[in-house]
Amino acid sequence: MKQSNNKHYRILAVDDDAIILELYKRILSPDNPLPTMPSFEVKCCSQGDEAVDSVKISLEENTPYAVAFVDLNMPPGPDGQWTADEIHKLDPGVNIIMVTGYRSTETGNPQTQSNISDQLLYLQKPFYPQEIIQFSTALSIKWQAERQLLVLHSELETLVEKRTAELVESNKLLKKEIENRKHVQEELEQSLQNLKKGMDSTIQAIAMTVEKRDPYTSGHQMRVAALTRAIAETIGLAEAQVEGAFMAASLHDIGKIALPAEILSKPIQLTEIEISLIQAHAQAGYDILKGIEFPWPIADIIIQHHERMDGSGYPQGLAADSISIEARIIGVCDVVETMSSHRPYRPSMGIGKALEEISRNSGTLYDADVVVACLKIFNEQNFEFPN
């Protein structure tokens, strides 16, 4: 039986196809058997202007939407880009996902691009029900956390003003004021910890969305992240950098969400065109995440994780210290995990071959210090990838 959940999130689905709208309702229905899925209320609109009116009403009634799935092409009315712009003008807090049948997110010329294109997520049609559930859950949690943080900041400012006024009025209240401030700080730190947990959950949910589309590489990002953390700690990065590297590794292939699933799971060697599409995932990952405020430069790390020390990598051809240390670590971990794992077009090469590859190209393709740390972890600490 599905567990009860007091959290209730409103989802806006905009599509000119009645069958698709019914599918949203069915996927996010309270009768869905998934025990961890929050409670959703789905509002369906068949045209963009109708959706904009619905957002206006939701704000007037103080029942805003957490997530909006917007179809890109909705004749005869306004298209999805116009709809996304208008919704964002009314309510910048709603998370908008553009749903498109195109094979990439490059839709239209610069004159027709949405004003908030760099803040949008994209979902390829046909989509899987699990993708809708994961996007709705992760982004609703993010939306709720952001609203709670705004309230927390407002309450904290009010409290500080009140306490400061009391301090000016009488020095006798100084001790009590200090104690109150300490209590507020503890609450703030606890709230920030809760927010971090919510962000971690969001990152894991988004990472799972990518891997669900490619069963052959399921768990790849998490295994790369585990090795990344171990190497970052071994070479002595600060705790904050270690955490940032781990989070970036957990999302380093998020750009593959824009790729057709048949390319990701193709059981034979890829063509040059298909390889170039795969290589575009670093830039796509940057484009998806650059508008999200993380405590670390996640988007910059992700776009660099296929750069190489001699400048032969992609997409920017960076070299040596121009590549962030976090990206250099992820680059080595990505190679080791990929070579030692099975792929549709070849069997596993084994960890020995993977370590031989990074040793042979240490200082040329891969950071020498990172390679030394990786070899130490496997040969002396008996590191094993998590299942």
- Find out whether 202 and 251 touch, Cβ atoms under 8 Å: no
pLDDT of residue 111: 41
Phi/psi-derived region of residue 293, left when phi > 0, alpha when psi is between -120 and 50, beta in every other case: beta
Q: Which helix (H) or strand (E) holds 125?
A: none
pLDDT of residue 167: 61
Summarize pLDDT for 215-247 with one digit per residue, the tens. 556 688 889 999 999 999 999 999 999 999 999
Distance CA 287, CA 299 (A): 8
List the chain domain ranges.
8-127, 135-202, 213-379
User: Mapping DSSP to helix (H, G, I), strand (E, B) and coil, where does residue 26 land?
Assistant: helix
Give CA angle at 252 (251, 257), nearest 5°: 75
Each residue's pLDDT expressed in tens, for the chain with a length of 387 residues:
344 444 689 999 999 999 999 999 999 987 766 667 789 999 999 999 999 999 999 999 999 999 999 999 998 989 999 999 999 999 999 999 999 987 554 444 444 455 666 678 899 999 999 999 999 999 999 899 888 888 887 777 778 777 767 666 766 676 777 777 887 777 667 655 655 665 566 666 666 666 665 655 668 888 999 999 999 999 999 999 999 999 999 888 888 877 666 666 565 566 777 667 677 888 888 998 888 888 899 999 999 999 999 999 999 999 999 999 999 999 999 999 989 887 666 677 889 999 999 999 999 999 999 999 999 999 999 999 987
As given in the structure block, the two tokens for residue 81 are 């880009």
* Nearest alpha carbon to residue 193 among 152, 251, 254, 241: 152
What lies within 8 Å, CB to CB, of 71 at 6+ separation is 14, 15, 16, 17, 20, 80, 99, 100
Q: Which helix (H) or strand (E) holds 91?
A: none
Residue recorded with tokens 């029900």:
129
Domain 213-379: state its class: mainly alpha
| Verdict on whether the full-model pTM lies above 0.85 | no
| Largest distance between two CA atoms of the chain | 78
Backbone angles phi, psi at 43, to 5 degrees: -105, 125
pLDDT of residue 205: 61
pLDDT of residue 92: 92
Summarize pLDDT for 305-329 with one digit per residue, the tens. 999 999 999 999 999 999 999 999 9
Distance CA 291, CA 341 (A): 33
pLDDT of residue 109: 45
Architecture of domain 8-127: 3-Layer(aba) Sandwich (3.40)
* Nearest alpha carbon to residue 347 among 275, 267, 279: 267
- Find out whether 308 and 363 touch, Cβ atoms under 8 Å: no
pLDDT of residue 112: 46
pLDDT of residue 98: 94
Radius of gyration of the chain (CA): 24
Give the end-to-end CA distance of the chain in Å, rounded to a whole number.
29
